[in-house]
Structure 1
Amino acid sequence: MEAVGRISPHGNVAPLRAYYFSKDEKLLVYDYYQGGNFSMLLHGNNEGGRGALDWEQRLKICLGAAKGIAHIHSSSGAKLLHGNIKSPNVLLTQDLNACVSDYGIAPLMSHHTLLPSRSLGYRAPEAIETRKHTQKSDVYSFGVLLLEMLTGKAAGKTTGHEEVVDLPKWVQSVVREEWTGEVFDVELIKQQHNVEEEMVQMLQVAMACVSKHPDSRPSMEEVVNMMEEVRPSNGSGAGSGNRASSPEMIRSSDSPV
């Protein structure tokens, strides 16, 4: 936790104010964020109801979260990792600035600690198997977060038979059998037009992150660059166009199917 405390301030990282650890209880203390968290807004647990977040807002939140995670990864000699990336841990200010929280606690958890199903849906396959987290397993978790943003489906939600929904596998199955557009949240389709290319490109970024092989996944710094190519900071729209906007690139991904 000393290393976590030495993380330099960053606009997309929630500062850790205090912590408490005992055998039976582990607590992290952060500032109160009036915007709630990404999960609340995305899945409708707010007064605005389902579909309150449009494409621009979702992009802003996810890019901010990516920058925060990349900053954590670059801290303390690039040896730190988050270890618990999921939409409830992306806290939001009133203007929807994303701040990642709950970082650095994973290495302190017992190997016998049972993970809630909502966390299992974000875990990289190797992290589930070995209970060891790496920066590349963080990248996988962020990829699931991107898929959650794009599909509107809650990652890790059970099917009613104690089975956790594997969002990357679901996306692959839909892309393989249907058309890429079937993947996207219907609320996004209703709200906006002329962003389909950006959505497909962001889906490609997500699928690169959830590659089955850790070494094939990009770093978080690379993820930030890829996302900024999709939506340049000057607001000129989709990226340069050299990235394929068809489902073929997604189908050829080596992510689990």
Structure 2
Amino acid sequence: MARFRPPYWLPHVLTLIHILLISSPVIYGQQDPAAQLIKFKSSLNNTGDLTNWDPNVPPCAGESPNWKGLICNKDGSVFGLQLQNMGLSGTIDMDTLAQITSIRTLSFINNSFEGTLPNLLKIGPLRGIFLSYNKFSGVIDGDAFKGMSSLRKVELGNNNFVGKIPISLSQLPILVDLQLQDNQFEGEIPDFEQNDLKVNFANNKLDGHIPKGLRNQDPSSFAGNDLCGKPLSNCKKTLNKKLIIIIVAASVLAVLAIIIMTLFILRTRKTRKNKNIKRQLTKPDRKNTYKTNANEIQMQTKLETYKRTDNGGKLHFLRTDRERFELEDLLRASADVLGSGSFGSSYKAMLADRPPVVVKRFKEMSNVGKEEFYAHMRLLGSLSHPNLLPLLAFYYKKDEKLLVTDFAENGSLASHLHVKRRPDEPGLDWATRLKIIKGVAQGLDHLYNELPRLSLPHGHLKSSNVLLDDEFNPLLSDYGLVPVINKEHAQHLMVAYKSPEFTQHKHTTKKTDVWCLGILILEMLTGKFPANYLEQGKGGKPDLGTWVNSVVREEWTGEVFDKDMKGTKNGEGEMLKLLKIGMRCCEWDIARRCDMREAVEKIQGLKEREDDEEYSSYASEGDGYSSRAMDDDNFSFSVTN
């Protein structure tokens, strides 16, 4: 039987087929990046920022991305995704992304993704994964990062992860940056021994010794846990279990031996204690600015209830630049009631050897879940600006919350504008009021930049929420609370919902805070309190902007300004400019109302006094003002009643 011999051309054909297989990315595993990215986008929600993802346009042109949110290599391949601060939600489709074999970094910081950690092992060569400031939750498997030897940066902070820190993170050979702060990780920290590693484990539920390899870290990286050892304080030596059992047994026997005597004594002491409390409630405290000690006792009684919650009486601190204290410290501190505002009572607590703090109780936050509340408080606690009152700590209880802030020495702007003064006591002069409104504008500008996803970055801007430090620098308070205040309560009492767009059309916009800023400007310049803020229902008294407009429209005179405001020489023109800015901010027509950026720029451009020539042009008109002055720059102001 003859042996089979293949034709001479067969090896050449096989070679050609092999070459075609290698050069065809679709057949050999490398999918079309554009098609895969479009497929990935379909798994996301709220993709308005990705409108330029066009399948007919290459994602990359060399190193320059044609599509928003991409990082490209020189050869035009996709190196990574940088989809930050876009409000995205949905699913991170790792199976689809894994088809783009050139991807090395993924960033989804500050979005709204939920659920468990995506399966990162599907993209083994990843160098960086950035998922901070989302709503991820659940336990991360110990092997979630196993074998990812190229991983250098892992950022999972400000989520709701629970359980132990994955041991596989400590096994990544070239890891240099690990951010796990503001989650609910518990247990001990694994042994990390990588060179040049920087970590942040602050504000979790970790305990035990800090591993030897992390002793060179900044102490703030471990704040908000129950950890010990360098760089924190030394660990206390623990007793062995057998000795603990002996001590506990002896203690129980001792308690049983004296319990009968205690019951006998308690009955006598109870009567005596009731008499003492009654005496304290009626005894005046001469050192206190308030009439009695009843406020202090009331605060202590209220705070005692927090010790019996599921949190065990623990404050959750948000800042690492302040000395920490516990709820017990507040219980021991003397306290004054500062007032009862829209949300609840505020107390000034004088802590031993520490600056005083303000504790504010909120009852109208019961509709927000614990995880959502924690995440939002962490976001507000991360804000830092000279004109924002910093949020130091919070306490969560289902039907009531505590927020802890700094104490402002000079009280609120409202107290300086509207509280009756002695005849010889001066009011705020023009220079101080200009300084205050510039600081307010800067604080609002920072809120708008840092909280772009909120339609009302402040939401409750009014003179009583502008506090003043010892140098009369303004500090905005009660900002960013709209997402956690019960909707019915917010719409009933918060200033943003007094705006024309809500009272007439039941909606707010990014320009609603601008309207509040305008009312605040007019309140500062006229010294008149916005009467409509006192109306609990809708459509009450006319707002301050309407009143100012009616005065100006009749006949412009300097009488509109607060008589207690001492003007700087040659400053009248600048006061007039600020009045015009305030009226522009109070436009009822939202389309005509200036936006926050324009308002801030105009306010920052104001001076304490104008040049002599500019002042002379105003002075030549008799009383220094005229109706023509209000028409400068084609200025107009419309009100629709």
Q: What is the CA-CA distance between 1:122 and the residue it aligns to?
A: 7.9
Does 2:621 align with 1:246?
no
Within a 5 Å distance, the mapping from 1:91-170 to structure 2 comes to: 91-113=467-489, 115-116=492-493, 120=495, 123-129=498-504, 132-156=507-531, 163-170=540-547
* Inter-partner Cα distance in structure 2 for 1:127 and 1:33: 32
**AA in 2 matched with 1:109:** I
**AA in 1 matched with 2:441:** A
Q: What is the CA-CA distance between 1:97 and the residue it aligns to?
A: 0.7
* Inter-partner Cα distance in structure 1 for 2:569 and 2:609: 15
Out of 17-26 and 190-199, give the one that drifted further. 17-26
User: Compared with structure 1, are the counterparts of its residues 159 and 139 closer, same or farther at alpha carbon in structure 2 (3 Å cutoff)?
Assistant: closer
Secondary structure of 1:218's aligned partner: coil
* Inter-partner Cα distance in structure 1 for 2:561 and 2:428: 14
Equivalent of 1:13 in 388, 391, 403: 388
Would the aligned equivalents of 1:197 and 1:245 in 2 still touch at CA under 8 Å? no
Q: What is the CA-CA distance between 1:225 and the residue it aligns to?
A: 1.4
Does 2:568 align with 1:184?
no
* Inter-partner Cα distance in structure 2 for 1:203 and 1:239: 20
Equivalent of 2:414 in 26, 39, 42: 39
Does 2:379 align with 1:3?
yes
TM-score when normalising by structure 2: 0.35
Higher relative contact order (CA 8 A, sep 6+): 1
1:229 aligns to what?
Answer: 605
Q: What is the CA-CA distance between 1:157 and the residue it aligns to?
A: 5.8
Would the aligned equivalents of 1:37 and 1:92 in 2 still touch at CA under 8 Å? yes
Would the aligned equivalents of 2:417 and 2:427 in 1 still touch at CA under 8 Å? yes
Would the aligned equivalents of 2:496 and 2:512 in 1 still touch at CA under 8 Å? no
Q: What is the CA-CA distance between 1:14 and the residue it aligns to?
A: 1.0
Q: What is the CA-CA distance between 1:199 and the residue it aligns to?
A: 1.2
1:44-70, Cα deviation, whole Å (9 max, x unpaired): 357798752000000101110110011
* Inter-partner Cα distance in structure 2 for 1:30 and 1:49: 33
* Inter-partner Cα distance in structure 2 for 1:68 and 1:238: 28
Would the aligned equivalents of 1:144 and 1:167 in 2 still touch at CA under 8 Å? yes
**AA in 1 matched with 2:447:** I
2:156 aligns to what?
Answer: none
Q: What is the CA-CA distance between 1:253 and the residue it aligns to?
A: 1.3
The structure with the greater share of residues assigned to strand is 2
User: Compared with structure 1, are the counterparts of its residues 184 and 115 closer, same or farther at alpha carbon in structure 2 (3 Å cutoff)?
Assistant: same
Aligned residues: 246
1:175 aligns to what?
Answer: 552
Q: What is the CA-CA distance between 1:177 and the residue it aligns to?
A: 1.4
Does 2:453 align with 1:79?
yes
**AA in 2 matched with 1:79:** R
1:216-239, Cα deviation, whole Å (9 max, x unpaired): 3323232221012221xxx66369
Out of 130-139 and 104-113, give the one that drifted further. 130-139
Would the aligned equivalents of 2:431 and 2:568 in 1 still touch at CA under 8 Å? no
Secondary structure of 1:254's aligned partner: coil
- Between the aligned residues of both structures, percent identity stands at 37
Secondary structure of 1:247's aligned partner: helix
2:140 aligns to what?
Answer: none
**AA in 1 matched with 2:637:** S
User: Compared with structure 1, are the counterparts of its residues 75 and 208 closer, same or farther at alpha carbon in structure 2 (3 Å cutoff)?
Assistant: same
**AA in 2 matched with 1:218:** C
Q: Structure 1: 5+ residue runs without aligned partners?
A: none
1:201 aligns to what?
Answer: 577
User: Compared with structure 1, are the counterparts of its residues 71 and 159 closer, same or farther at alpha carbon in structure 2 (3 Å cutoff)?
Assistant: closer
* Inter-partner Cα distance in structure 2 for 1:148 and 1:202: 12
Would the aligned equivalents of 1:5 and 1:16 in 2 still touch at CA under 8 Å? yes
**AA in 1 matched with 2:432:** Q
The structure with the greater share of residues assigned to helix is 1
**AA in 2 matched with 1:89:** N
Secondary structure of 2:391's aligned partner: coil
* Inter-partner Cα distance in structure 1 for 2:553 and 2:400: 44
User: Compared with structure 1, are the counterparts of its residues 198 and 37 closer, same or farther at alpha carbon in structure 2 (3 Å cutoff)?
Assistant: same
